[in-house]
Structure 1
Amino acid sequence: MSSSGSETQNEWLVILPDKTDADAVKRRLEVRGKHLEAAMERASQGIINFGGIMLHEHIKEGETPKFKGSIMLFKLETKEEVLEIIKSDKYIENNVWDLEKMEIYPFRTALRKAL
């Protein structure tokens, strides 16, 4: 990549729906640990500033979440750099995210509050 996340002011909001086949949740859960490990590394580098899951409904205790996809906020210079990272993600390698339905928008954070 031409620049590190900390050198740019460009932000990109990425919406990645999951595949809708019957085994998508199983595939997601199988590689979730590796996906989160890579996401945390990118967060420590200042490349990802926010990330989480979209749900069909709020999580109920004792039930598998009804995943809908993922949302992330990248801090990189170009859209191509964002795509490079997304395409190397375990969720792509394991056919979890539906790239055909992906949305990427230039974004500017106005408010951010830590959890």
Structure 2
Amino acid sequence: MQYLVIAYDNEGALEKRLAVRDAHVEGAKKLMAEGKIIQAGALIEEEQMVGSTLFVDFEDDDEINEWLSNEPYVQNGVWNMEEFQIVPVKLLPKD
């Protein structure tokens, strides 16, 4: 099932974000190659990264939770999990 993920950073998390960004991007690229992440990008306010938005395609909640348990931005306290949103969506086919 496809989902829109909206993840705002915790207050003052920019340094943490930058410290683990390479690991986050590496994991995201792997999931993109597998078709699990359809598209991803940073949320920007006043020219600063303040969060992330992703379109993902996971089989079920268990698969999403597995991804989140291994996601560097979750493990390192970058994303504010109290404001974390997962919204089911149906994207238009690329073809």
Between the aligned partners of 1:42 and 1:70, the Cα distance in structure 2 is: 15
Unaligned 5+ segments in structure 2 are: none
Larger radius of gyration: 1
Per the TM alignment, residue 88 of structure 1 is displaced from its structure 2 partner at its CA by: 1.3
- Aligned counterpart, 1:82: 64
Between the aligned partners of 2:60 and 2:31, the Cα distance in structure 1 is: 16
Identity of aligned residues (%): 30
Look up the equivalent residue of 1:100 and give its one-letter code.
Answer: E
- Aligned counterpart, 1:25: 14
Look up the equivalent residue of 1:95 and give its one-letter code.
Answer: G
Between the aligned partners of 1:87 and 1:98, the Cα distance in structure 2 is: 14
- Aligned counterpart, 2:33: 44
2:7 to 16, 31, 50: 16
The C-alpha deviation readout for 1:22-53, integer Å capped at 9, x for no partner, is xx111100110011001000100111000000
Equivalent residues in 2 for 1:84-103, closer than 5 Å:
84-103=66-85
Q: Secondary structure at the match of 1:99?
A: coil
Q: Is the 8 A contact 2:14 2:50 kept in 1?
A: no
Q: Is the 8 A contact 1:11 1:76 kept in 2?
A: yes
Q: Is the 8 A contact 1:12 1:79 kept in 2?
A: no
TM-score w.r.t. structure 2 length? 0.90
1:70 to 52, 72, 80: 52
Between the aligned partners of 1:50 and 1:79, the Cα distance in structure 2 is: 19
TM-score w.r.t. structure 1 length? 0.76
Per the TM alignment, residue 111 of structure 1 is displaced from its structure 2 partner at its CA by: 6.2
